[in-house]
Amino acid sequence: MANGRLYFDYNATAPLLTAAQSAMVDAMALPGNPSSVHAEGRKARAVVTNARESIARLCGVSAAQIVFCSGATEAANHVLTPDFRMGRSPVRVSQLFVSAVEHPAVLEGGRFAAEQITVLPVDSDGRLDLAALADALAGHDQATGQAMLGLQLANNETGVIQPVRQAADIVKAHHGLVVVDAVQGAGRLALSLEELGADFLIVSSHKIGGPKGMGALVSAGEILMPAPLLRGGGQEKGHRGGTENLVCIAGFGSAAEVAREALSDVERIGALRDRLEAGMRDLASDVMVHGVAVDRLANTSFFSLPGLKAETAQIAFDMEGVAVSAGAACSSGKIGQSHVLSAMGADAGLGAIRASLGREHTQDDVERFLAAFNAINTRRLARKSAPVAA
């Protein structure tokens, strides 16, 4: 890793891929606006078209189903709205249901009013309580409008994979809509909007090695669509106004091609993660790894050390030359109790550390991580056994 440091924070953001960077540099040299009809504009439009096709392949859809946004947060705020249109006819969504472990971009509910948002419980492993979902939908008054479920494919902290298809089947039985936050799943799980039973997917560029500040909303079709969040000159078929961010779109498209290929490396990454966790258990028998009883992303480990606060551990790892997260990296550096751990019924007081791997990691990187962990744990045990001053 760069400068001798180790980067174990891929769930926060993946390093920019060389291929994506090259695509962005090439796009910078294009003078045309993608909406212009002259030769320069057509060259720029071709970049957007090719990227749209690459992202569509990653998501298992057609290019026409991709709407570019400034990121996953914008995509969430775009699609989480009471106001939809079926062709020219308005469609009302009156209630949003979300799991208690969602990323804040979904948990906040987008454009729904607070009284229109229902937070559903999860079990001790962090998976959506399907019985609670069914009960909530059974009590929903469809005369007021449709219901919508916002559910992540995989949790950004624990890596726990949600029962999306089962949840979608329940929602569809009540004629509702399903929005899946696939930000952490892209490039780590095979994506198919149809197999997930989703109406919409949310994906992000920088989680797969593309540039920051770019994402996409993926729809099941072009008929049922949310009211635009950004209105303007009719770009993205009127779904998202504003001149397309050509440079970032080019990088996103390039990263999407690599992400599809990277699926073949998931098993190797999972073996590295398993070695990391086994090594931590050997060094600290009381280490707690969260979500191990259910399917998780192969690259993610979320763990706690009794008596050691997550923010203290994060700083200690950083001093040892290892970049990790104390939960999600979406709060401008502020560290508080993990709402994910709280929802799981775990002790959230100390928090937890997230180590997330990528394709570039090797066995040697894992052993160096464990050496840093050992140093931190040794100091923890020394403090624990030190006599208390009178």
Q: Do the domain assignments include residue 361? A: yes
- In whole angstroms, what is the distance from residue 191 CA to residue 201 CA? 10
* CATH for 42: 3.40.640.10
- In whole angstroms, what is the distance from residue 95 CA to residue 116 CA? 5
List pLDDT tens digits, range 313-323. 999 999 999 99
First to last CA, the chain: 46
Q: Residue 236 in contact with residue 68, Cβ under 8 Å? A: yes
List pLDDT tens digits, range 4-57. 899 999 999 999 999 999 999 999 999 999 999 999 999 999 999 999 999 999
> Which of 215, 181, 247 minimizes the C-alpha distance to 66?
215
pLDDT over 60 (residue 331): no
Q: Are residues 205 and 278 in the same domain?
A: no
Q: Are strands 200-204 and 177-181 parallel, antiparallel or unpaired?
A: parallel
Q: Residue 100 in contact with residue 343, Cβ under 8 Å? A: yes
pLDDT over 50 (residue 332): no
- The amino acid that residue 258 corresponds to is V
Q: Among all residues, which ones are annotated catalytic?
A: 330
Q: Do the domain assignments include residue 370? A: yes
Q: Are residues 252 and 296 in the same domain?
A: no
Question: So what's the pLDDT on residue 60?
Answer: 95
H/E run at residue 258: helix 246-262
List pLDDT tens digits, range 12-23. 999 999 999 999
312: CB partners within 8 A, 6+ apart = none
Q: Do the domain assignments include residue 390? A: no
Whether this prediction's pTM lies above 0.85 is answered by yes
Domain hosting residue 26, numbered range: 20-261
Q: Do the domain assignments include residue 387? A: no
CA-based torsion, 256, 260, 265, 270: positive or negative:
positive
Q: Do the domain assignments include residue 303? A: yes
